[in-house]
Amino acid sequence: MSAFITFEGGDGCGKSSQSRALLQHLQRERVPALLTREPGGTALGESISRWLKWHKETELSAAGELLLFSASRNQLVNEVIAPALKRGETVICDRFYDSTLAYQGYGRGLDLDIIKQLNDLAAEGLKPTFTILLDIPADQGLARKNAASRDRFEKEELAFHEQVRQGYLQLARNEPQRFLVVDALLPKKDIAAIIWTRVTKLLSP
C-alpha cells in the first residue's frame, strides 16, 4: 500500500535528516518512494521559498505569507505528490499543511478555520496518511541553528517559536490517529527506529 507521510516540527527539530533516513530505509526495502519538501519541491515552490525565507527588503503581511505558502503547496500537490501517489509510490514530505496551521495559525495568530479551508484548497483535498511530529523545546531547536545564517522564521522571537510548538502539540492531540509525536532530543538512530516501526505497520497489507 502506498502512503503519504509528512514530517513536521519546529525549526531545528531534525526532520530533514529523519525524512532522508526514512527514504533510504524504504529504498533499501525496495518500496517505491519519493521525498519532497515544503516550501519548495517545484521550480515555482523553490522560488517562493526563497522569497519567504530570505527576502529582506520586502515586508510581508501574515496573510501574504499564508497565500504564498498555499500557492507553493498547490503546485507541489499537482506537479509532484498526486502523480506519485497515483503511480503507487509512497510520498514523504518534509513539512505540509500542518506547518501552516502551526506557524501562520498558532504562531502569527491568523484564523485557524480560514487556514483549514485554504489548506484544503491548496492540497486539492489530499490529506497525509500519517504525520511524524518531532517535538523539541523551541530554545533547543533554535540553538541548533547557526545564528549568522538564520532565515526570516528562525529570526523570530522565542515566544513565536513556543507558540508554534504548542500549536503542533494541539494539532497532534486533535488527531491522535494520524500523528506520531517523537521526542526530538532522543539520539538520531532511536528516532529513526521509532519511525520505522510505525511505518512498517502502516505499509503492511
Q: Which is nearer to ligand TMP, 69 or 168 (CB)?
A: 69
User: Is 8 an interacting residue with respect to ligand TMP (CB under 6 A)?
Assistant: no
Give dist(CA 62, CA 189) in Å, integer.
37
Window contacting ligand TMP (CB under 6 A); options: 80-88, 93-101, 125-133, 191-199: 93-101
Q: Which of 4, 6, 7, 11 binds ligand TMP (CB under 6 A)?
A: 11
Grid cell listed for 116: 483549514
Grid cell listed for 96: 505540509
Candidates 81, 108, 114; CA nearest to 96 is 81
Q: Which of 89, 92, 95, 134 binds ligand TMP (CB under 6 A)?
A: 95
Q: Are 138 and 184 in contact (CB under 8 A)?
A: no
Q: Are 73 and 118 in contact (CB under 8 A)?
A: no
Q: How far is the CB of 37 from ligand TMP (least distance, A)?
A: 7
Window contacting ligand TMP (CB under 6 A); options: 82-90, 94-102, 110-118, 195-203: 94-102
User: Is 38 an interacting residue with respect to ligand TMP (CB under 6 A)?
Assistant: yes
Task: Give every CB contact of residue 26 below 8 A, 6+ residues apart in sequence.
Answer: 33, 90, 92, 199
Q: Are 167 and 101 in contact (CB under 8 A)?
A: yes
User: Is 99 an interacting residue with respect to ligand TMP (CB under 6 A)?
Assistant: yes
Q: Which of 103, 106, 130, 179 binds ligand TMP (CB under 6 A)?
A: 103
Three-class secondary structure of residue 114 per DSSP: helix
The site map against ligand TMP for 171-190 (x = CB under 6 A) is --------------------
User: Is 131 an interacting residue with respect to ligand TMP (CB under 6 A)?
Assistant: no
Window contacting ligand TMP (CB under 6 A); options: 95-103, 110-118, 132-140, 167-175: 95-103
Task: Give every CB contact of residue 30 below 8 A, 6+ residues apart in sequence.
Answer: none
Q: What is the largest CA-CA distance in the chain?
A: 51
User: Is 69 an interacting residue with respect to ligand TMP (CB under 6 A)?
Assistant: yes
